[in-house]
Protein backbone atom coordinates (compact mmCIF):
# COMPACT_ATOMS: atom_id res chain seq x y z
CA UNK A 1 0.00 0.00 0.00
CA UNK A 2 1.09 3.54 -0.74
CA UNK A 3 1.96 5.69 2.28
CA UNK A 4 1.98 9.43 2.86
CA UNK A 5 5.79 9.20 3.00
CA UNK A 6 5.75 7.62 -0.48
CA UNK A 7 3.68 10.53 -1.78
CA UNK A 8 5.97 13.08 -0.10
CA UNK A 9 9.02 11.44 -1.68
CA UNK A 10 7.29 11.32 -5.08
CA UNK A 11 6.40 15.03 -4.92
CA UNK A 12 9.88 15.99 -3.74
CA UNK A 13 11.56 14.05 -6.56
CA UNK A 14 9.16 15.48 -9.12
CA UNK A 15 9.68 19.12 -8.07
CA UNK A 16 13.47 18.77 -8.00
CA UNK A 17 13.55 17.06 -11.40
CA UNK A 18 11.25 19.67 -12.94
CA UNK A 19 13.51 22.45 -11.70
CA UNK A 20 16.66 20.68 -12.91
CA UNK A 21 15.06 20.40 -16.36
CA UNK A 22 14.10 24.10 -16.44
CA UNK A 23 16.46 26.23 -18.51
CA UNK A 24 15.90 29.41 -16.50
CA UNK A 25 16.64 27.95 -13.05
CA UNK A 26 20.26 28.40 -12.00
CA UNK A 27 20.18 27.22 -8.38
CA UNK A 28 17.85 24.82 -6.63
CA UNK A 29 17.54 24.74 -2.85
CA UNK A 30 17.05 20.97 -2.50
CA UNK A 31 17.01 21.30 1.30
CA UNK A 32 13.80 23.34 1.00
CA UNK A 33 12.04 20.19 -0.16
CA UNK A 34 13.24 17.94 2.66
CA UNK A 35 10.23 18.95 4.75
CA UNK A 36 7.42 18.38 2.23
CA UNK A 37 4.37 17.13 4.09
CA UNK A 38 1.32 15.43 2.57
CA UNK A 39 -1.67 14.49 4.76
CA UNK A 40 -5.45 14.20 4.92
CA UNK A 41 -7.95 14.91 7.67
CA UNK A 42 -11.32 13.25 7.03
CA UNK A 43 -12.47 14.18 10.56
CA UNK A 44 -12.34 17.90 9.71
CA UNK A 45 -13.64 17.69 6.14
CA UNK A 46 -15.62 14.69 4.82
CA UNK A 47 -14.98 15.66 1.17
CA UNK A 48 -11.91 13.83 -0.24
CA UNK A 49 -9.01 16.25 -0.03
CA UNK A 50 -5.27 16.47 0.57
CA UNK A 51 -3.08 18.98 2.39
CA UNK A 52 0.37 19.79 1.05
CA UNK A 53 2.99 21.79 2.91
CA UNK A 54 6.23 22.95 1.33
CA UNK A 55 8.50 24.89 3.65
CA UNK A 56 6.20 27.47 5.30
CA UNK A 57 3.51 27.39 2.58
CA UNK A 58 0.46 25.18 2.84
CA UNK A 59 -2.60 24.49 0.71
CA UNK A 60 -5.45 22.00 0.56
CA UNK A 61 -6.92 20.55 -2.62
CA UNK A 62 -9.95 18.47 -3.54
CA UNK A 63 -8.97 15.07 -4.90
CA UNK A 64 -11.61 15.42 -7.60
CA UNK A 65 -10.15 17.84 -10.13
CA UNK A 66 -7.47 18.93 -7.65
CA UNK A 67 -9.04 22.35 -7.27
CA UNK A 68 -7.69 24.41 -4.39
CA UNK A 69 -9.79 24.63 -1.22
CA UNK A 70 -7.55 26.91 0.80
CA UNK A 71 -4.03 28.33 1.10
CA UNK A 72 -1.28 28.64 -1.47
CA UNK A 73 2.12 27.23 -2.34
CA UNK A 74 3.60 30.13 -4.28
CA UNK A 75 5.94 29.20 -7.12
CA UNK A 76 5.69 25.47 -6.39
CA UNK A 77 1.90 25.41 -6.78
CA UNK A 78 2.12 24.95 -10.55
CA UNK A 79 4.56 22.08 -10.01
CA UNK A 80 2.25 20.44 -7.47
CA UNK A 81 -0.66 20.68 -9.93
CA UNK A 82 1.53 19.17 -12.65
CA UNK A 83 2.54 16.36 -10.27
CA UNK A 84 -1.10 15.65 -9.48
CA UNK A 85 -1.77 15.17 -13.20
CA UNK A 86 0.84 12.43 -13.48
CA UNK A 87 -0.31 8.87 -14.06
CA UNK A 88 -1.38 7.11 -10.87
CA UNK A 89 -1.07 10.04 -8.43
CA UNK A 90 -4.81 10.66 -8.07
CA UNK A 91 -5.42 6.93 -7.62
CA UNK A 92 -2.75 6.66 -4.91
CA UNK A 93 -4.14 9.70 -3.08
CA UNK A 94 -7.66 8.26 -3.34
CA UNK A 95 -6.38 4.99 -1.88
CA UNK A 96 -4.86 6.93 1.03
CA UNK A 97 -8.14 8.83 1.50
CA UNK A 98 -10.13 5.58 1.64
CA UNK A 99 -7.67 4.15 4.16
CA UNK A 100 -7.80 7.34 6.28
CA UNK A 101 -11.59 7.38 6.11
CA UNK A 102 -11.77 3.72 7.20
CA UNK A 103 -9.41 4.38 10.12
CA UNK A 104 -11.54 7.36 11.19
CA UNK A 105 -14.59 5.08 11.36
CA UNK A 106 -12.70 2.39 13.33
CA UNK A 107 -11.67 4.86 16.06
103 is a domain residue: no
Burial of 5 (0-12, 13-18, 19+ CB in 10 A): exposed
104 is a domain residue: no
Tell me, what's the pLDDT at 26?
66
What's the whole-number mean pLDDT along residues 98-107? 72
24 is a domain residue: yes
91 is a domain residue: yes
21 is a domain residue: yes
For the stretch 39-98, pLDDT in tens is: 999 988 899 999 999 999 999 999 999 999 999 999 899 999 999 999 999 999 999 999
- If one counts the domains in the chain, the total is 1
93 is a domain residue: yes
- Total-model pTM: 0.88
47 is a domain residue: yes
Give the range of the structural domain holding residue 67, as residue numbers without chain letter. 4-98
Range list of H helices, 1-107: 4-21, 77-84, 89-106
Amino acid sequence: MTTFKDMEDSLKSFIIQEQLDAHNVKHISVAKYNNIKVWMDPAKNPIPHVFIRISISEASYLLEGFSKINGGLGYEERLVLKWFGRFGIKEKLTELWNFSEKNKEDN
